[in-house]
Amino acid sequence: MNANARRSLIEEMVAQQGEVSLVDLAERFEVSEMTVRRDLDVLEEEGVLRKVMGGAIFIGGKSTEPSFHARASAAAEEKRHLAAIAAGLLKPRQTVILDSGSTILAVAKEIRGRRLGLTVVTPSLLAAVELADEPDTTVLVTGGRLRPGELSLIGSEAEDAFLRYNCDVYLMGVAGVDALRGASEYHREEGAVKRYAARAADQVIAVVDQSKLGRVQLINVVDTQDIDEVVTDALDDHPTVVRLREAGAVVHCTAAPGSQ
């Protein structure tokens, strides 16, 4: 693993956990503590974290979003597994909304080659390009303002696009899913587009790794009762999984092979 990939993973870890240990990072990445210190120096200069005795702490709040590269690099194998399960829930000829974000981009990659004949509506240029050449697939891209880094479309034009469509399924990726507060997101305009997308679909399926369960971010997206299904790598007895099922959601707990 090169230094940039390692630092992206560290950025994601500290954003999720709040703090990281120098020793734990060295063991996880199989590098020296001196190498980890250099990584933390770089990330501190970038404003991601603050070094403390024995490690580092996150200096952002609920409104601070890790970069797309950091999210895409983190737990990539686990995301591929979740994406395969989510893609397997789709039926031929459905009209599907694919969200922006790294997890749903992984779903788009898994849809390739399945020949489902979908109509895909998406605010994600990355997802659109991924499926542009998929046989018998129609890709509709919302309008809107391009968000740098994410390559997602946001703003009133992106929101209004969903007023024109009646879709079967919305595959949603969000920064947090909590049994009481529902799904939430870091970015205000991204969150608004997600709300409109959810209203345009008969079924909302949240695809989230276990680190996002029980987390509440700045912007509300949908209420708990509006989430029909959840695909996650958490265990069946995870407290948020239990409460989501009690609230009526179907939760697919599907740990990646060898992860437990």
CB 30 within 8 Å of CB 23: no
Mean pLDDT lowest among 65-69, 128-132, 255-259:
255-259
The rounded distance, in Å, linking the Cα atoms of 93 and 51 is 52
Give the mean pLDDT of 58-62: 62
Domains of the chain: 3-60 (1.10.10.10), 71-253 (3.40.50.1360)
pLDDT at 60: 58
Q: What is the mean pLDDT of the chain?
A: 89
In terms of Cα–Cα distance, which of 76, 92, 94 is closest to 12? 76
The rounded distance, in Å, linking the Cα atoms of 120 and 230 is 20
pLDDT at 38: 94
Which of the two residues, 122 and 256, has the higher pLDDT score?
122
Residue that has been written with the tokens 């983190």 in this structure: 74
DSSP per-residue codes, the chain = --HHHHHHHHHHHHHHHSEEEHHHHHHHHT--HHHHHHHHHHHHHTTSEEEETTEEEE---TT----HHHHHHTTHHHHHHHHHHHHHT--TT-EEEE-SSHHHHHHHHHHTTS----EEEESBHHHHHHHTT-TT-EEEE--SEEETTTTEEESHHHHHHGGG--EEEEEE--SEEETTTEEEESSHHHHHHHHHHHHTEEEEEEE--GGGBT---SEEEE-GGG--EEEESS-TT-HHHHHHHHTT-EEEE-PPTT--
CB 126 within 8 Å of CB 151: yes
The model's confidence at residue 260, banded by pLDDT at 50, 70 and 90, is very low
Q: Is 255's pLDDT higher than 90?
A: no
> What's the Cα-to-Cα distance from 183 to each of 77, 145, 174, rounded to whole Å?
23, 23, 7
The rounded distance, in Å, linking the Cα atoms of 192 and 197 is 9
- pLDDT by residue (tens digit) across 145-197? 999 888 999 999 999 999 999 999 999 999 999 999 999 998 889 999 999 99
Q: Is the dihedral of CA 75, 185, 43, 59 positive or negative?
A: negative
